[in-house]
Structure 1
Amino acid sequence: MIVRKKLEVIDLYKSGFFYIEGCFYNDFLYSGAIDYGQVICDWSKDPAPEIGSMQISSMEDTSFLDLTLRLGQPYVNMHQGDCEYLIVFSDIRMLCPQDTQGIREYPFVTNKRLKNQTKCMLLGGWCTTVYNSEHAPEDPRFFCEQWMAYNSERALEDPSFFCKQCFRALHYNQHGNKTGNFQAFRFFDSNSVI
């Protein structure tokens, strides 16, 4: 009898990073991890974007104490191929005697607003990450919506919300041409901020 290991998302997409204050902190914990930030850093060196220089560092070599943060500034965490999260540090204060004194306890999450996220209307938020692939995971991965469509002939609600994969599959043909007369906009759900 052959026992096959269940394919996990981490088996396919081992890479990840945090982007904080102009630096990509890459996760190289797993062998085969890709430096996602290198392509963007190379692009930023072109004078046309005028966004300034960017740096690359290893997440494993960086401590939270090494970071310079701005309160209220959104930063990016990306992992598992294209799963993106915005992270916002909203408060900072001096340690007092009533607080946990162990330095390894910090930072800690004070609020997660993931329960009320707007979900993809096509598959209710459970969308596969790899379409038409022999490597598609058995359990589809949760995706936040990224697109909002108005006047879509293929949607039950107006406006309607879709993850990237479902939006493309429903509103564009195999050649990438728009099908139907609708308006679409990138959508940011503030409830997806950690």
Structure 2
Amino acid sequence: MNLTPGQTHEAYLGPSSGPIDIAAFLSAGHPGNTPEEIGTSGAPSQARGLQLSAREEWSTLDAAQQEAVQSECCVDDLRALLNDTMSNPRLMNHVTRTHDAFVQAIYETAEPTRRKRKRATFADPEDELPEVRALRLKHEAIALKCWPLTIHAASFIRPSKQSDHNTLVNVKTIGSGPTSEGQRDDALLFVTVYNRLSWGQKFLSRASQHVVLSSQTIGDFYEAIPCSSNERPLEVHDDSGDIIGYKSRQSDDMATDASTSGAMVCIENVLYGDGQDEHDYADKAMQLVQTLPENSRPHVSLGASMHDVKFASLTMRLHEPYWIVHAGKCEHWFIVSSIRLRHPSDPRSGYPLTTQITPALSEICRVCTKVPALFSVVGDMRFGESPFLICGPCWRWMGEPKDGSEVLVVPVPVHELGWSNTT
């Protein structure tokens, strides 16, 4: 399958940074520490020295000079204009349609063989509303040569992808998170989780983004990751133990099933199991490694339970993919994109935070081909294939087989547990 340059670039992770000792990073950011106390973290100490120097320079300015600098750097006028435009449906519609028309024209010019779409139509200037006309004239009067899009922009524009969307309308809080004053020296880790693409197992796609405190454990972060494996239907057994059906999973079932599904996280060649069993996934992985030929064994070691290991005790690299496996063979990768100290404006509680969840794609009913499938029907000869995906109305219209044959109706995950703003 051919990939556009943008898709090819985004399918790979890295390059990774050098090792970052999170404890040393926290020590470097503490006001009372000296470079000798920081140890080998010379770069953070230099950055902090520049920060202190800037603060000292700022304190030497009188009130009038400080006010003049703040006024020169203020962007309140731009922010007010942007907010006014976005809150006005007419103005926002004009801006969106104009931008889409420019992008479409660039695509058609750069790629003459591209299938042309219907061009957007605009109102006659004489019929424009006064507020729309004022905004259009203001944009046309911008003298910056870099303001209008040119043909060269085609190399840097790509269509929106599924991972660009977000199911959340607000930041989702998972836990309580430390709120005491002693946590002011805590650090925030910005983490992105990736899944394999269904159409290309060698490529990854962003699944969710989170913010974790360095004082929290790996287990706290793991429990915040939404995954379709958590919505697999539960088996219903009869008295003899045979499977007689399935039922949709409820939120109460997640906590019950979490302790038995198993999980393992690999960070810098150290395996951290969930510690729920005497031999968890990490122990079993080490046993599997020992069975490999010595010259092809990965250099991994066994760590403590993920619920006992805090991020502050780890050494990690930015943009380095780390591995998660759980629920049998469900795999994820995650990277730490940035680490910084907490700011007074950051949320005081609710960590880990979830800031983005990519909408999950649903299978379409194969009868009406219009709405998402609700059931997977197994063993029904009327459909010509098994299993067969079908929506609720179509299945009610078909009805149970009249020849007496037994079919198994399995509910399809609807991506509700973990995909909304509520836990």
TM-score by length of 1: 0.47
> Which one has the bigger helix percentage?
2
TM-score by length of 2: 0.24
